[in-house]
Amino acid sequence: MIPKDHPRYASLVRREKIAEAAWERIVAMEGVGSHGRGEAFDYLIGEKTTESAYLAEKTAAAFLLNAGCAVISVNGNTAALAAELIADLQTATGALVEVNLFHRTEERIQKITKLLEDNGVVVLKGDAERLLPLSHDRALCIREGIYSSDVVIVPLEDGDRCQALVNMGKTVITIDLNPLSRTAQTADLTIVDELTRAIANITSEAKLMDKNQGNKLIKNLDNKKLLKSAIQSIMENLSDAMDRKTQA
Ligand code: ATP
């Protein structure tokens, strides 16, 4: 039991959720490693939503609301950490939710689908076909879902699949705490924030957004600038920490 007054309570709760989900084989062992990398970057970013990440989240809300067919792609880590938040995001934006895994087994697809449904998500069902230009099972997706989407949000994604989706002409939004990852660098819109904070913020912005505001945000998107701001925040945090150390 994690004590509620622990200064890093929220982060430890997330770690515990990932560990439990790994025991249940919802999260792949490789996903435990990915989570650790995310935690490290969250530390560097100050475990908070930066101003530029919030702008990215608002812009993501605008893209999801403006889409012809928006899809939220959910993997094991995303389901384990944010099933309930995905349900709220789906209600606020009308997006489809497709389970899409890097380490794909039928057993994991079914377990993740059940976890999402138990939390109120309507999960897209259908036969996965090899529709993405990638080797191995990463090519699989549902024709009426990711394949047909014009806007797709792929949290905690692999760089190759992100690139393939961009090459297919989709607007690809990612949530990734590492601004240097291939995914972060390849996506059209990169939210450098922790998954649960990011999804909650996208949902609350989607509930408030009007068409004019949405159009303006889409028009003004500058992903290079967003990535640069994220790296700048990390550098400032490190430099503050160094100053504190040398003053001590
Ligand atoms: P790439 O192929 O894009 O370079 P990668 O190999 O660095 O990716 P993966 O393990 O495929 O990384 O993807 C996980 C990414 O998600 C990592 O960059 C990690 O920092 C990030 N991440 C992990 N957990 C979270 C989280 N809770 N919130 C936001 N980002 C996270």
- Per-residue pLDDT tens over the stretch 4-58: 888 889 999 999 999 999 999 999 999 999 999 999 999 999 999 999 999 999 9
**From the alpha carbon of 195, which atom of ligand 1 is closest?**
28
- Eight-class DSSP state of 148: G
φ, ψ (nearest 5 deg) of residue 96: -80, 155
Residue nearest to atom 18 of ligand 1 (CA): 178
Ligand 1: which of 35, 37, 166, 172 to mutate, judged by most atoms within 8 Å of the beta carbon? 37
Q: Residue 60 and residue 58: Cα distance in Å, rounded?
A: 5
**From the alpha carbon of 102, which atom of ligand 1 is closest?**
11
> pLDDT tens for residues 141-156?
999 999 999 999 999 9
Q: How far is the CA of 159 from the centre of ligand 1 (A)?
A: 9
**Whole-prediction pTM value?**
0.96
Ligand 1: which of 165, 176, 186, 195 to mutate, judged by most atoms within 8 Å of the beta carbon? 176
Q: Residue 103: its pLDDT value, please? A: 87
**From the alpha carbon of 176, which atom of ligand 1 is closest?**
30
Q: How far is the CA of 143 from the centre of ligand 1 (A)?
A: 26
The stretches in the chain having pLDDT less than 50 are none
Q: Residue 55 and residue 221: Cα distance in Å, rounded?
A: 9
What angle do helix axes 76-93 and 9-23 make, rounded to 10 degrees? Answer: 110
Q: How far is the CA of 177 from the centre of ligand 1 (A)?
A: 7
Q: Residue 248: its pLDDT value, please? A: 66
- Eight-class DSSP state of 172: E
Q: Residue 27: its pLDDT value, please? A: 96
Q: Which residues line ligand 1 (CB under 6 A)?
A: 34-35, 37-38, 41, 81, 156, 158-159, 175-178, 181-183, 194-195
Residues 6+ apart with CB under 8 A from 104: 137, 138, 140
Residue nearest to atom 7 of ligand 1 (CA): 181
Q: How far is the CA of 156 from the centre of ligand 1 (A)?
A: 5
φ, ψ (nearest 5 deg) of residue 119: -105, 10
Q: Residue 115 and residue 99: Cα distance in Å, rounded?
A: 11
**From the alpha carbon of 162, which atom of ligand 1 is closest?**
3
Residue 140 · residue 104 · CB < 8 Å: yes
Region of 83 (left: φ > 0; alpha: ψ -120 to 50; beta: rest) is alpha
What count of other Cβ atoms lies within 10 Å of the Cβ of residue 53?
26
Burial of 91 (0-12, 13-18, 19+ CB in 10 A): middle
Please report, for the chain, how many H helices and E strands are present, in that order.
Answer: 10, 7
What DSSP letter does each residue of 76-145 carry, written as one string?
Answer: HHHHHHHHHHHHHHHHHH--EEEE--SS--HHHHHHHHHHHHHTT--B----EEE-SS-SGGGGEEETTT
| SS3 assignment, position 192 | coil
Q: How far is the CA of 126 from the centre of ligand 1 (A)?
A: 27
Residue nearest to atom 11 of ligand 1 (CA): 158
